[in-house]
A and B are shown apart, each in its own frame.
Chain A
C-alpha cells in the first residue's frame, strides 16, 4: 500500500515533468483503461518511470505522421500493421531472445514475436448470436452461420472481405491450417463467394465494430460476426443475452513495438519486458476479454475485479474452447488486402445488379 501511494506520488511528480515520461500510443477506451491499471501503473510503481498514454487510430499512416523525434516511445499495434511499419523502418528491430530470455520464447507459441514487435494480447473475430432468437436449437458451429434454413434471420457482417471469406471456406469443411492456402487461389475465392451467395439476402452490413453487438441487442440481427470483446461487453452489461460461438474464431494478435523515433529506447525496452511478464498479461486479461500471448499467464487469470466474472472462459485463446480456431496470418492479410477488396466489391456490385438472386 505504501509502495502504491509512493508510485502515485512519483506519477504526480513525473507528470509535472512530462519530458521524462514514457509515451505509449494506444487505442483508448476500455482497452486503454485496462492497460493503465494492469501495465502502466505497476510499471511506474516498479521502475519509477511514469507512463503517459496517448491515443491514436492504429494505422501505420498515423505512426508515419505523428511520431516525430521523441514523441512516442512505445506503440500498441495490430500485428499486420506492425509488419508493414517494420518493413518501412518505422520501428526499432527487437531481439526477443535478449529481451525475454530463450526459455520464455517457448511460452509464446503459437504467437511468435516479429522482427520489430512483441505479441501482447489476442482478440478474435467470432460468431455471436442472440439467445432470444433461438430458444430451442442454438448455433454451435460456423456452418450454422450459413444455414438460413435451420437458423433463419439476419446476419450482421462487416462490409469487408476480412474474416467472412475465411468462414465461408471453414464452413465447406476446409481445415483451419489450409484456409489461407485455398483462399490464395482464384478457385478458393470463387468458392468462398459462392458460399456467401447463399446468405446474400440475409446480410446486414456494418463498418463500425461497435455495431454488430448493438444489432443483436436491438434484435435487428440474430447472428453477427464481430470482435469478442464487444459481444462480451453487451452481455456483461446485461444489455442483451448474447452468446459467443467459439468455433471458427479467427485469432488476431495485438503487439507492442518501439517507434524508431524514440529518444528513450532503453526505457522502452524495459517497458516491453515488463508488459510481457505473465503477471502483467494476466492482470490485463482479467479486465478485458483479450487473451494473453503466453501460455503460463492463463494460470494466473482470475475474476474480473469489478464484476467478479471469471474471465478465462471469455478469452479467445482460452485452452478450454473446443472447435476450430484460425490464427490470422497478418502478412497474408496485409499483402492480399487489395485483391480481396477488389473481389469483394465486385461481388457486392453483382448483388446490386441482380437483387434477390
Chain B
C-alpha cells in the first residue's frame, strides 16, 4: 500500500487542486515526451535508412542499402542489449505490464534509471527497425512522469496510481492523436475502475495531451480513411466471422510471444547478445521483405488499398511479422506489441477480404473496412481493451461507418480470445507472475496479501513433552481453546484441545496462502485460529486468528471499494 493512503487525507479543496495540477503537469510532460519520442524515432529511421522514404533516395548505391538493412538492426540490437546489461539495474525493457502492476498493487515503478534506459533503448529499437511497437514504451514513459508525483508525498489517497494513469492517458492521447481512446485506455487497461477521483484528472490529462498534439503541434489524424459506408447488410456477418478468425491468429501470436523469451534464453546464454541476433534476423528477412522493418506505416496503408498485395504475399508477410515480433520481444528489444499487432491484423483483414471477394465471389464494400476491422480486432485481443480499440478506430479514421463495422469485429475477436486464451497478453503475463486478474480486480488484490502477514505470536504451542495440564492452564490464561502440537523439529502434528486431546488439524495454511484463498478455505471452519506451516517441510510458523483474517478482508475490501468509488 502506498504511503499516502495511510496518512490523513488533505482537505477536499487542497485535494482537488493537487489532482488538477497533477493532471495538467503530468499530462503536459507526458505529451511533450511522447512527441519527442515519435520525432526521435522518425529521425533515426530516416538517418539510418530504415524508412522507405530515406532508403529510396540512396537507391543508386544498392550495396549501401543492403549493408544498412543488415547492420542497422543488428548493431541496434547489440547496443540495446549492452545498455540493458550494463546501465539498467532492472536489466530488461519495461512496459505497460510494469505500469499495470504498479498501479494495481500501489507499488512504485521500477527505479527511474531503469525506466530512462528502457525508454532510450525503445527509441533505439524502433529507430533501428526492430519489429516492435512504440506505444508500450510510450505508456511506460507517461507513467514514469506520473510516478514522479510520488516524491511530493501529497496527502491525497490513491494519488500515485492516478498520476501514473494521467501520464499513460496523455501519452496515448498524443501518440494516436486520440484523447478519448487515451482516457479509456488508462481506465480499461491500467486503472481498471472508473472512480470519479481518477476519471476526472485522467480526462484532464488526456485533453492536455490532445491540446498539445493538436493546437500546438497541429498533428493530423494518424489514419484518415475515406469510406462511404458499408454497402451490404450481410457484411456485418463477415465482420463477425473475421473477428473470430482474427482472434485465433492473435492467440497464436501471443502464445508464440510467450514461448519465444524462454526459448531464446535457452539458446543464447549471454543476454546482451540476444537482441543483436534478433536484429540480424530482422535484417536478413528485410532484404527480401522490406515491409517487416520498423513500425510499417507504409505497409499499414497498403493493406487498405485493393490489390496492393497478392494472397501469397500477404500470408508470407503475416507469418514473417508475427515471427519476427515474437523474436524481437523475446530477445529483449525494448518495445511494445501494439503496433505490430495493428500491422498483422490489417494484413489478415486484407487476406480475409481477398478470400471473400476472390475465392467466394461475395460483393463487399472494399478492402479498407476489412483491414481496419481486423487490425483493431487483433490489437484488442492482444491488449484486452475492446472499448479502447473501438475508440481508437473512431479517432484515427474519424469515420463513423468504419467504427461501427470495426466494433463488430472487435467484440467477436475479444469474445474468442478471452474465452480461449485470457483477457489480454498482459493479464496472462501477470498471472504467470502470480497476479491473477481473471476473477476481477478485488480478487487479485486480495490474493496479493499473504496470510503470513497476519500471523499472531500469541497462539499457544505444545511439544510432546508438555503435560496436558500445563497446556490447559496456559490456554485458560490466554483465553484460547486450542493449542498447536509440534514435534521436536517444529513440525505441526495436530491441534490440541482440552476436550479432545490432539487431533489432526482440520485446516492449515501454507506460507504462500493468500487472503483470498484463506477466505475461501475458511468456509465451515470452526476454531480459534488456523495454523500456518511452511509448504516444503510442514514447519509451524504461527497461527492466524479467524477474527484477524476476517477483519483484514473487510479492511481491504473497504479500501478497494473506497478507491473505486472515490469522488475526490
Q: Is the CB of B305 within 8 A of A336?
A: no
Q: Is the CB of A174 within 8 A of B308?
A: no
Q: Is the CB of B226 within 8 A of A178?
A: no
B301 at the interface (CB under 8 A from A): yes
A237 at the interface (CB under 8 A from B): no
Q: Is the CB of B60 within 8 A of A174?
A: no
With A173-B225, A173-B226, A185-B290 already in contact, the answer to whether A180 and B53 are too (CB < 8 A) is yes
A102 at the interface (CB under 8 A from B): no
Q: Is the CB of B301 within 8 A of A182?
A: yes
Q: Is the CB of B53 within 8 A of A174?
A: no
Q: Which A residues lie within 8 Å of B305 (CB)?
A: 172-174, 191
Cα of A185 to Cα of B307 in the assembled complex, Å: 15
B51 at the interface (CB under 8 A from A): yes
Residue among B225, B226, B291, B302 with the highest chain A CB neighbour number at 10 A: B302
Within B316-358, the residues touching A (CB, 8 Å) are none
Cα of A172 to Cα of B302 in the assembled complex, Å: 10
A30 at the interface (CB under 8 A from B): no
A186 CB, nearest partner CB in chain B, Å: 8
Q: Which B residues lie within 8 Å of A178 (CB)?
A: 297-298, 301
B551 at the interface (CB under 8 A from A): no
A181 at the interface (CB under 8 A from B): yes
CB-based nearest B residue for A173: B226
A134 at the interface (CB under 8 A from B): no
Cα of A185 to Cα of B50 in the assembled complex, Å: 12
B66 at the interface (CB under 8 A from A): no
- B115-145, CB under 8 A of A: which get 1 and which 0? 0000000000000000000000000000000
- A180-197, CB under 8 A of B: which get 1 and which 0? 111111011001001000
A15 at the interface (CB under 8 A from B): no
CB-based nearest B residue for A190: B308
Q: Which A residues lie within 8 Å of B304 (CB)?
A: 173
A175 at the interface (CB under 8 A from B): yes
Q: How large is the interface on B (under 10, 10 to 19, 20 to 34, 35 or more residues)?
A: 20 to 34
Q: Is the CB of A184 within 8 A of B52?
A: yes
A88 at the interface (CB under 8 A from B): no
Cα of A285 to Cα of B54 in the assembled complex, Å: 35
Cα of A178 to Cα of B303 in the assembled complex, Å: 14
A241 CB, nearest partner CB in chain B, Å: 30
A165 CB, nearest partner CB in chain B, Å: 12
With A173-B368, A181-B297 already in contact, the answer to whether A187 and B308 are too (CB < 8 A) is yes
B481 CB, nearest partner CB in chain A, Å: 77
Q: Is the CB of A182 within 8 A of B307?
A: no
A183 CB, nearest partner CB in chain B, Å: 8
Cα of A182 to Cα of B59 in the assembled complex, Å: 15
Q: Is the CB of B298 within 8 A of A339?
A: no
B321 CB, nearest partner CB in chain A, Å: 15
Q: Is the CB of B302 within 8 A of A184?
A: no
Cα of A188 to Cα of B307 in the assembled complex, Å: 11
- A332-346, CB under 8 A of B: which get 1 and which 0? 100110110000000
Cα of A339 to Cα of B290 in the assembled complex, Å: 18
Cα of A336 to Cα of B55 in the assembled complex, Å: 10
Q: Chain A contact residues: over half helix, strand or loop, or mixed?
A: helix
Q: Is the CB of A181 within 8 A of B53?
A: yes
B36 at the interface (CB under 8 A from A): no
Cα of A337 to Cα of B381 in the assembled complex, Å: 44
B295 CB, nearest partner CB in chain A, Å: 11
Q: Is the CB of A191 within 8 A of B308?
A: yes
Q: Which B residues lie within 8 Å of A339 (CB)?
A: 56, 59-60
With A178-B298, A332-B57 already in contact, the answer to whether A185 and B52 are too (CB < 8 A) is yes
With A173-B225, A175-B220, A175-B224 already in contact, the answer to whether A181 and B52 are too (CB < 8 A) is yes
Cα of A125 to Cα of B57 in the assembled complex, Å: 22
B53 partner, pick from A172, A175, A191, A332, beta carbons under 8 A: A332
A189 CB, nearest partner CB in chain B, Å: 9
How many residues in A have their beta carbons less than 8 Å from beta carbons of B? 22
CB-based nearest A residue for B59: A339
B298 partner, pick from A172, A182, A194, A331, beta carbons under 8 A: A182
Cα of A353 to Cα of B310 in the assembled complex, Å: 25
Cα of A332 to Cα of B46 in the assembled complex, Å: 12
Within A153-190, the residues touching B (CB, 8 Å) are 172-175, 177-178, 180-185, 187-188
Residue among B60, B297, B301 with the highest chain A CB neighbour number at 10 A: B301
CB-based nearest B residue for A334: B57
Cα of A191 to Cα of B53 in the assembled complex, Å: 16
Cα of A336 to Cα of B51 in the assembled complex, Å: 14
Within B200-231, the residues touching A (CB, 8 Å) are 220, 224-226
Residue among B56, B220, B290 with the highest chain A CB neighbour number at 10 A: B56
Q: Which B residues lie within 8 Å of A332 (CB)?
A: 53, 56-57
CB-based nearest A residue for B368: A173
A140 CB, nearest partner CB in chain B, Å: 14
CB-based nearest A residue for B55: A184
Q: Is the CB of A177 within 8 A of B57?
A: no
Q: Which B residues lie within 8 Å of A187 (CB)?
A: 291, 298, 302, 308-309
B227 CB, nearest partner CB in chain A, Å: 9
Q: Which A residues lie within 8 Å of B59 (CB)?
A: 336, 338-339
CB-based nearest A residue for B301: A178
Q: Which B residues lie within 8 Å of A184 (CB)?
A: 51-57, 298
CB-based nearest B residue for A186: B290
- B282-314, CB under 8 A of A: which get 1 and which 0? 000000001100000110011011011100000
Q: Which A residues lie within 8 Å of B308 (CB)?
A: 187, 191
A330 CB, nearest partner CB in chain B, Å: 12
Q: Which B residues lie within 8 Å of A182 (CB)?
A: 52, 298, 301-302
Within B210-262, the residues touching A (CB, 8 Å) are 220, 224-226
Cα of A188 to Cα of B52 in the assembled complex, Å: 10
Q: Is the CB of A191 within 8 A of B307?
A: yes
With A178-B301, A181-B297, A181-B298 already in contact, the answer to whether A194 and B307 are too (CB < 8 A) is yes
Q: Is the CB of B57 within 8 A of A335?
A: yes
Cα of A188 to Cα of B302 in the assembled complex, Å: 8
Q: Is the CB of B368 within 8 A of A185?
A: no
Q: Which A residues lie within 8 Å of B52 (CB)?
A: 181-182, 184-185, 188
Cα of A178 to Cα of B301 in the assembled complex, Å: 8
With A175-B220, A187-B308 already in contact, the answer to whether A336 and B301 are too (CB < 8 A) is no
A162 CB, nearest partner CB in chain B, Å: 15
Cα of A181 to Cα of B58 in the assembled complex, Å: 14
CB-based nearest B residue for A177: B220
Q: Which A residues lie within 8 Å of B54 (CB)?
A: 184
- B415-441, CB under 8 A of A: which get 1 and which 0? 000000000000000000000000000
Q: Which A residues lie within 8 Å of B55 (CB)?
A: 184
Q: Which B residues lie within 8 Å of A331 (CB)?
A: 57
- B48-72, CB under 8 A of A: which get 1 and which 0? 0001111111111000000000000
Q: Which B residues lie within 8 Å of A175 (CB)?
A: 220, 224
Cα of A187 to Cα of B58 in the assembled complex, Å: 17
Cα of A181 to Cα of B290 in the assembled complex, Å: 13
CB-based nearest B residue for A182: B298
Q: Which A residues lie within 8 Å of B57 (CB)?
A: 184, 331-332, 335-336
Q: Which A residues lie within 8 Å of B60 (CB)?
A: 338-339
A248 CB, nearest partner CB in chain B, Å: 13
Cα of A335 to Cα of B302 in the assembled complex, Å: 23
With A173-B304, A174-B305 already in contact, the answer to whether A181 and B220 are too (CB < 8 A) is no
Q: Which A residues lie within 8 Å of B224 (CB)?
A: 175
Residue among A172, A173, A331, A335 with the highest chain B CB neighbour number at 10 A: A173
**What 6 A-B pairs are tightest by C-beta distance, nearest first?**
A335-B57, A184-B56, A184-B52, A184-B53, A185-B52, A181-B53
A-B pairs with beta carbons under 8 Å apart, 24 shown: A172-B305, A173-B225, A173-B226, A173-B304, A173-B305, A175-B224, A177-B220, A181-B297, A181-B298, A181-B301, A182-B52, A182-B301, A184-B53, A184-B56, A184-B57, A187-B298, A187-B309, A191-B305, A191-B307, A191-B308, A332-B53, A335-B58, A336-B56, A339-B56
- Contacts A181-B52, A332-B53 aside, 9 further interface pairs with beta carbons under 8 A come to A172-B305, A180-B53, A181-B53, A182-B301, A183-B56, A188-B52, A332-B56, A335-B56, A335-B57
